[in-house]
Amino acid sequence: MNGRRKSGAASTALKYFLLSAVFLLFAGPLAWMLSTMMKTKAETYKAPPSLLPESWNVDAFHRLFAIQPLMWKWIQNSFSISILVAAGAVISSSIVAYGFSRFQTKCRDRLFPIVLVTLMIPPSIMMIPSYVLFVKLGWIDTWLPLIVPAWLGGAYYIFLFRQFFLTIPQELDEATYLDGGNRWTVYARVVMPLSKPIIITTVIFAFVNSWLDFLGPFLYIKNSGLFTLSVGLQLLIGQTSQDFPALAAGAFISIIPIGLLYFFAQRYIVEGVVLTGSKG
């Protein structure tokens, strides 16, 4: 018995040690960023560096917005684009997934694998053809190349919605038809209201991907007034390369929306992703 207890205690200690190591690996850079943005410029050049600032202040935020007056504009642009992308991903992908999960057609089982195969196509391969297409459409230096593709459905989100819709009993559809409803009634009043977890999951994934996207805005947008925050922060590095507190303040601003989304909706993310794999 004593040997088993010692073995169990050692196993538990090892687990806590590994968890602590992983926690420090991910929390360390975040703690250093929070500390840096509260320091003065002089403190960041001291050797050896200190984790805690000598005097806590928010001067870095004042310098950040003073150096780059367009910062508020970039934040608003990022929010506008990300919200439109998230809305488009939910609406378009859910409609396509509804067809794959509810319509009994000959081509359904052949088309769905084709949709999944598109997940294997590297985005870099589509970069040049997409750019040429958007040039011919006259969409360069606008937000359209960043927003419109989200309203045409995404393979990953279609997969998530389709798998979740399969967990909803089709008896509810039949009851709706008996009450005089049609397919759109089933979609809008039955399926979607019951799909809150996967809707929230898709909104978060789409919002975060759009919020963090750098290559798309950098490639298609030339006007600094239309920049997103990710591109603006890259521009800021060239303007304040020696002001580390200001750069840390900008990085902190960029992660606030993501942190809030995951903090308040993590339960729905886990529920939505788990249920997508409960039925094939």
Question: pTM for this structure?
Answer: 0.86
Q: What is the C-alpha separation between 87 and 199, in angstroms, rounded?
A: 10
Q: Which residue has the higher pLDDT, 124 or 149?
A: 149
pLDDT in tens, 196-214: 889 998 999 999 999 999 9
Instruction: Kindly report, as residue ranges, where domains of CATH 1.10.3720.10 are found in the chain.
Output: 69-276
The pLDDT tens digits of the residues spanning 215-273 come to 999 999 999 889 999 998 888 877 666 788 888 888 899 999 988 888 887 777 766 66
Question: CA of 186: how far to CAs of 28, 164, 206, 252, in Å?
Answer: 48, 15, 25, 43
pLDDT exceeds 90 at position 161: yes
Mean of all residue pLDDT scores within the chain = 86
Closest CA to 183 of 109, 108, 107, 95: 95
Domain range 69-276, its CATH number among 3.30.420.240, 3.40.50.720, 1.10.3720.10, 2.60.40.10: 1.10.3720.10
